[in-house]
Structures are given as C-alpha cells and as structure tokens.
C-alpha cells in the first residue's frame, strides 16, 4: 500500500522543477514578467473576457511571496476586495507549517481518533452493507480531513491577480475562488492529495473511495481567467494508490472544478496532465440554480494523459476551442472520454484535435443525461470526424459566439505544444 509517510520522495521544489522542465517550451521568459500583473482577460476573450483581477492595484498592494505564510498575509481575509497583484516566487508548499516542516496524515489525525484500520473495520462492506457511512469512525475521519483542509485550502478574495514568476509552483494546495474578478496565471500546480478519502458504498454498483480538494475550485465566482498554468499529479500518481474493498483508494479529486453557479470563466493556454477526474463544470443534477450560469471557455489547452472530464458538464454552456488531447496509451492514466454531456449541458466545439492510442472517435463523448453538442473541425487520429454525428447528439441552442483567433486544426498540435503551460509567458 502506498503512503506518503513511507515513500521516499524528492523534495517538492526539485520535483516541481522537473515537471516544469519536462514540458516542451520554445519561448523564453521575459525578464520583466511582472508586467503581466497589469493585464486583463480582454486580450484572450471568451466568457471570462471581463476579468481584470487586481490589475488596477496601487503600489502598496503589489506583493511577492515565497511561502504559505506570506501568501496568506498578502491575500488577507476573504472579504479583502482591494485590488491586489501577488507574484509567486519559488515553491509554495501548502503542506508545510510555519517552521517549514511537512505535515503528514499523522499530524492531521492527531487528537481526532481517526485510524485507517478502524475505519476499514467499521465500514467493511461484508458487515456494513450498502448504506451511507455514519457513526464515530466517519466523524473521526471528517475531523482529520477538516484539519488538513485548514492547512491546504486558500480562499482567494475578489479583485486579485496571482502570477507565477519563472519557475513558480503551488504544491499540495487548493485555491478556492468564491469571489468575483480573479486571475491566476503562469503557475505549475501539483494537485492536492487527500489523506482521508471517504468510502461511499452507494457510489456505483460496488462503491467507491472519494476525495476532497482540487488544485483550483471555482465556486460561485464570476469573471475568472486561468491562463498559462500547468496542472499535474506530480509525485503522487494514482497508480500508487492501492485498493481497499476492491476499489482504488483514490486520493485525488479534480484539477479545476467549476461549480455553485460560477459564471463567465476563461481557461486558456494551460496544460492538464496525468490525472483522472480533470474538470467538472456543474456538480449535481439536482442543482437547478446553475441554469443560465456556468458559461465557460476552454481555449488552446493541452490535455495530456488525462482519463476523463475534459470537461464533464451539467447545466453549463461551454465553448471548447482549439484544444489538443493526447494520450499514447502507455500511461497509467488510460483515456476513457473527453466531453461529458450531463443534464441540460451545451458544448460548442471548434477545431479540436485528438491523438488517442487504442481508441475510436466514439470515445470523444460520454452522454450522461445530456444531448446538446455541436462540433466542427474535429480531428481524431489524423482524420476529420463529426463527434456530434457519431454520438447522435442534438445541435446546441446557443451559438459558438467566438470572435478571437482560431488555429486551423492541422496546425494545432505543434502550436499548442509550443505555447501552452507555465513558463511560456514573456
């Protein structure tokens, strides 16, 4: 069984440096990258085009931070809506305390009464059955998980721009965007690792282990721009998870999940790599309050060795433009599907390219309860295809409405490999 506490690891700063250098980067970083803090999303367009973040910050509200503590101080309280620009320098490791010590599962569990062995005994399906978990062991698990959340979650206030300086990384933390007008750019994220997964016997036929935390959670925020970021499971790939009750002991949730009526989001020129449940837009069929919201643009992103949810949509109106999907079949992250059509979802897709080994075009779409998808210029393994026709979807009621630059499908892979991800901006 894999455990962080008994696995010999390179320091996070070294690993994140390796992750950054592993990407194809053909452009040099400009020495004056700090000018990026004054930029808004107008230049990229999409549904998030009105995001200005903290670009209007005065000189007293521009910060450079290099630790969890200095980041939290610069952000201030979640009600701090003064425009602010924050530059990340080096590795911001959210699992380290103020003395620089990495906190472990044992630290969070201390005083809560949580022990994995006791949890497994209490909820063994052979004795517990198929009902939702409850009782003292679940209470203890929740207490330990809350302690981890207090350490690694960061609530970003309104009118904030966060920019990574060259080589900047954000390790093991969860940026939570619940306020409006936020920009996050040029950062390498190692996705957070939930030390306390929950057993859910009611999830699918045989039950599942589920986790908390995304690298970025957009929860109810409007006017958000996420640009030139790189997301990776880093040191903790799912292949190390092991199993309990015959199911993978899953420590990861999403990379970028957009929920709770969030609206007007653009995600551009970013890399999503080595992950299972990558991007959820709308998290419940019962959340009808999401109707008319969840307008999201995905443009010029690379999805490499991702399994599913790129994106998986409920209620949202999503533009998927000029994205490159790549999985050579040798990764432990085996491709399942790209576009998940959930309840009342609409996806407008234009000039996207798939290079997916051992799969046919039918794998592009998974229809959950949705039927509305329009696509044009889709290439799957060198051939133009109509994903909509193959999956028997209906045309979207909304139009694409994209007025920005558009890369021809055949030129897309080369372009994306040169321009997507952190460390490219100049």
Per-residue exposure over 217-244, b if at least 16 CB sit within 10 Å of its own CB, e if not: bbbbbbbbbbbbbbbbbbbbbbebbeeb
Whose tokens are 């910050």? That residue is 57
CB-based contact 288:317 (threshold 8 Å): no
Q: What is the pLDDT of residues 99-147, one digit of tens each?
A: 999 999 999 999 999 999 999 999 999 999 999 999 999 999 999 999 9
pLDDT at 30: 37
Query: Which is catalytic among the residues 273, 309, 312, 314?
Result: 309
pLDDT at 71: 98
DSSP secondary structure letter of residue 425: -
pLDDT at 203: 95
Q: What is the pLDDT of residues 53-73, one digit of tens each?
A: 999 999 999 999 999 999 999
DSSP labels, 299-351: ES-EEEEEEE-TTEESS-EEEEES-EEEE-S-SSS----SEEE-TT-EEEEES
Those residues with Cβ within 8 angstroms of residue 146's Cβ, 6 or more apart along the chain or in another chain: none
> In the numeric block, which tokens belong to residue 295?
């307008």
pLDDT at 12: 53
Q: Does 425 map to a domain?
A: no
Q: Does 339 map to a domain?
A: yes
pLDDT at 4: 62
β-pairing verdict for 383-385 and 378-380? antiparallel
Q: Does 383 map to a domain?
A: yes
**Number of CB atoms found within 10 A of residue 54's CB:** 26
The CATH number that applies at residue 217 is 2.160.20.10
Each of the 426 residues of the chain gets a pLDDT tens digit; together they read 445 654 334 445 444 444 443 333 223 333 467 789 999 999 999 999 999 999 999 999 999 999 999 999 999 999 999 999 999 999 999 999 999 999 999 999 999 999 999 999 999 999 999 999 999 999 999 999 999 999 999 999 999 999 999 999 999 999 999 999 999 999 999 999 999 999 999 999 999 999 999 999 999 999 999 999 999 999 999 999 999 999 999 999 999 999 999 999 999 999 999 999 999 999 999 999 999 999 999 999 999 999 999 999 999 999 999 999 999 999 999 999 999 999 999 999 999 999 999 999 999 999 999 999 999 999 999 999 999 999 999 999 898 989 899 999 999 999 999 999 999 997
Q: Which domain holds residue 54?
A: 4-419
For 61, the 3-state DSSP assignment is helix
Q: Does 285 map to a domain?
A: yes
Those residues with Cβ within 8 angstroms of residue 367's Cβ, 6 or more apart along the chain or in another chain: 341, 391, 393
Distance CA 358, CA 389 (A): 21
Among the listed residues 398, 313, 389, the one whose alpha carbon sits nearest the alpha carbon of residue 348: 398
Distance CA 263, CA 286 (A): 18
β-pairing verdict for 378-380 and 91-93? unpaired
pLDDT at 25: 29
**Number of CB atoms found within 10 A of residue 60's CB:** 8
**Burial of 246 from C-beta contacts in 10 A (0-12 / 13-18 / 19+):** exposed
Q: Does 104 map to a domain?
A: yes
Distance CA 192, CA 416 (A): 26
Q: Does 81 map to a domain?
A: yes
Respond yes or no: is residue 309 known to be catalytic.
yes
Q: Does 426 map to a domain?
A: no
Distance CA 52, CA 63 (A): 17
Model pTM? 0.92
> In the numeric block, which tokens belong to residue 409?
């499908």
Q: Total domain count for the chain?
A: 1
Which H or E run contains 217?
A: strand 216-219
Q: Does 378 map to a domain?
A: yes
Distance CA 240, CA 250 (A): 10
């Amino acid at each position: 069984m894999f455990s962080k506490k008994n696995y010999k690891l390179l320091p996070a700063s070294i690993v994140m440096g390796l992750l950054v250098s592993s990407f194809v980067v053909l452009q040099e970083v400009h020495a004056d990258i700090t000018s990026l803090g004054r930029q808004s999303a107008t230049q990229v367009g999409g549904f998030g085009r009105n995001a200005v973040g903290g670009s209007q910050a005065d000189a007293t509200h521009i910060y450079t931070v290099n630790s969890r503590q200095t980041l939290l101080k610069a952000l201030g309280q979640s009600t701090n809506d003064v425009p602010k620009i924050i530059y990340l320098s080096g590795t911001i490791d959210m699992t380290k305390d103020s003395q620089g010590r990495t906190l472990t599962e044992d630290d969070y569990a201390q005083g809560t009464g949580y022990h994995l062995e006791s949890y497994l005994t209490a909820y063994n399906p052979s004795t517990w059955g198929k009902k939702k978990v409850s009782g003292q062991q679940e209470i203890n698990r929740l207490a330990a998980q809350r302690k981890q959340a207090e350490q690694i979650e960061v609530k970003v206030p309104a009118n904030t721009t966060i920019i990574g300086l060259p080589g900047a990384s954000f390790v093991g933390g969860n940026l939570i965007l619940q306020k409006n007008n936020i920009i996050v750019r040029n950062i390498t994220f190692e996705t957070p690792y939930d030390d306390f997964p929950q057993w859910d016997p009611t999830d699918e036929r045989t039950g599942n282990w589920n986790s908390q935390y995304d690298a970025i959670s957009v929860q109810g925020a409007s006017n958000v721009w996420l640009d030139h970021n790189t997301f990776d499971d880093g040191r903790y790939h799912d292949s190390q998870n092991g199993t309990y009750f015959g199911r993978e002991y899953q420590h990861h949730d999403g990379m970028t999940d957009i929920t709770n009526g969030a609206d007007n989001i653009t995600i551009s020129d970013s890399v999503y790599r080595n992950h299972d449940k990558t991007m959820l837009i709308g998290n419940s069929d019962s959340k009808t309050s999401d109707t008319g919201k969840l307008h999201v643009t995905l443009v010029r992103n690379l999805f490499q060795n991702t399994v599913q949810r790129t994106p998986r949509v409920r209620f949202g109106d999503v533009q998927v433009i000029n994205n490159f999907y790549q999985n050579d079949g040798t990764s432990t992250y085996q491709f399942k599907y790209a576009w998940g059509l959930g309840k009342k979802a609409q996806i407008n897709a234009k000039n996207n390219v798939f290079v997916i080994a051992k799969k046919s075009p039918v794998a592009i779409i998974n229809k959950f309860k949705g039927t509305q998808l329009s696509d044009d210029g889709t290439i799957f393994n060198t051939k133009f295809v109509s994903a909509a026709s193959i999956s028997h979807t209906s045309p979207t009621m909304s139009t694409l409405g994209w007025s920005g630059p558009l890369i021809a499908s055949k030129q897309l892979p080369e372009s994306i490999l040169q321009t997507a991800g952190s460390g490219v901006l100049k």
